[in-house]
Amino acid sequence: MTQAKDLYKKNQELEGKVVDLTSEGSGVVKIDDFPFFVEGALPGEWVKIKVMKVGKSFGFARLMDVMEPSPDRVPEKDQVGRQIGTMTLQHLAYPAQLKYKQESVRAVFQRLGYFTDVEVAETVGMDHPWEYRNKAQIPVREVKGHLETGFFRKNSHDLVPVENFYIQHKEIDQAIVVVRDILRRYEIMPYFEKSQNGLIRHIIVKRGFHTGEMMIVLVTTKRRLGVEEDLVREITQQLPNVVSIVVNVNPKNSNVILGKENRVIYGRPYYTDTMLGLTFRISPNSFFQVNTQQAEKLYQLALEAADLKGHETVLDAYCGIGTISLALARHAKQVYAMEIVPEAIEMANQNAQINKLDNVTFEVGAAEHVLPKWNQAGIKFDVVVVDPPRKGLDPSFVETLIEQNPEKIVYVSCNPATCARDCRLLADAGYQLGTVQPVDQFPQTAHVEALVLLTRESE
């Protein structure tokens, strides 16, 4: 039997039609039923491609020419955004991006969740799908003898210098360049991965969408910078909205960005922002949705799905700093919430206090460990809200949740594939899947969030 590697060779040029988009946003070109994944190609296009790699069941190819373009193709804002993977769908018109995300959610619920007749609503998009990110984590390296900030070329650790990311707020892009130039002036050494020498690994900028407050985090290999007073003076003079400058120490040779130790060298250990009329303190390690405008839409949809009347006891699993918990608490009798990160629970308690909400109980621990304890304590939940990481719900958490038997489960997902898998487990236990609502938190990329309401079937 002839294998693909015998038919196709590296650097071979081929022509074909793009038949689909992958979940990562690459075009699928089939040559005699053998699929090649081609970055930058769109469905319906006739393209010329160059073979880069051939596997047993699929290959990768580079887009050489678009001979018949899709009507949904638009000019790229910046080719660099494709090279570094920050804007992998920028060549697709925004209405078509929203349609693609709706269909990709439908596909995983059918394929992985076995929901053959799932109803998927139109994707909730943005009026201005640019400059939406409120946080940047930017690596610092040496390029051609200079300290540079930018992003790694896809599948490599080669830094591509970038000054305008287009999907971050302009003030964040400006702040990165300001800090970069100050570090250059004081001859601060960038980090060298191979030798593990140098001082500055990353610059992190967090900005309150509604408040404009800004936090600068300098991720370093050592506790002391040596010129901290000078750095603080210059940064605060040039960036008056900065309310916090933090040194985060990460001496380990790993891909994890943040270390465990934070040292405030200016201002507060947090900055503030608002969401759904609530005020939140956000620390260097705290998770806060990077697209504030879309997160508000997502959380409002979650509140509407929960449809609280004021008498309910509610569980918020994976609560972070309490963004959903506190929004729920305004409409519930009592909210219980858990989060595995101790610092996040500390911030959540502070956020409850500053918002004058005393009907929330926060606890540190993994959801799959805390929920059984609350079960044993006899706490009965009417509504459960889950917003897990990309890996989805832990199987033991799902089992305990089924034992709890709440009337409603509101599932907020950053990974529709694992959401579909988890929803199948809940459906098999007697829950009815409602309409799945995609929300576009990350325009110009293939990522999509989804929200679904599961209700207990009547006995």
Residues 6+ apart with CB under 8 A from 118: 106, 109, 110, 433, 436
- Cβ 416 vs Cβ 388: under 8 Å: no
User: Which pairing describes strands 408-413 and 383-386: parallel, antiparallel, or unpaired?
Assistant: parallel
Residue 143 tokens, joined: 């390029």
**Sign of the CA dihedral with 388 first, then 392, 393, and 396 last:** negative
Catalytic residue among 319, 414, 419, 423: 414
Dihedral sign for Cα 182, 209, 101, 93, please: negative
Residues 277, 301: contact at Cβ < 8 Å?
A: no
Angle at 311 between CA 310 and CA 316, to 5 degrees: 80
Alpha-carbon span 157 to 298, nearest angstrom: 34
Distance CA 125, CA 305 (A): 19
Backbone angles phi, psi at 385, to 5 degrees: -115, 130
CB of 19 closer than 8 Å to CB of 44: no
Question: What gap in Å lies between CA 199 and CA 183, rounded to an integer?
Answer: 11
Find out whether 72 and 99 touch, Cβ atoms under 8 Å: no
CA distances in angstroms from 17 to 22, 42, 102, 155, 239, listed in the order given: 15, 9, 23, 26, 50
What are the start-end ranges of the H helices in 186-329? 228-238, 292-306, 323-329
The b-or-e profile of 349-361 (16+ CB within 10 A means b, else e) is ebbbeebebeebe
Tokens read off for 3: 């294998």
Catalytic residue list contains 414: yes
Is 383 exposed, middle or buried, given 0-12, 13-18 or 19+ CB atoms closer than 10 A? Answer: buried
Q: Which residues are catalytic?
A: 414
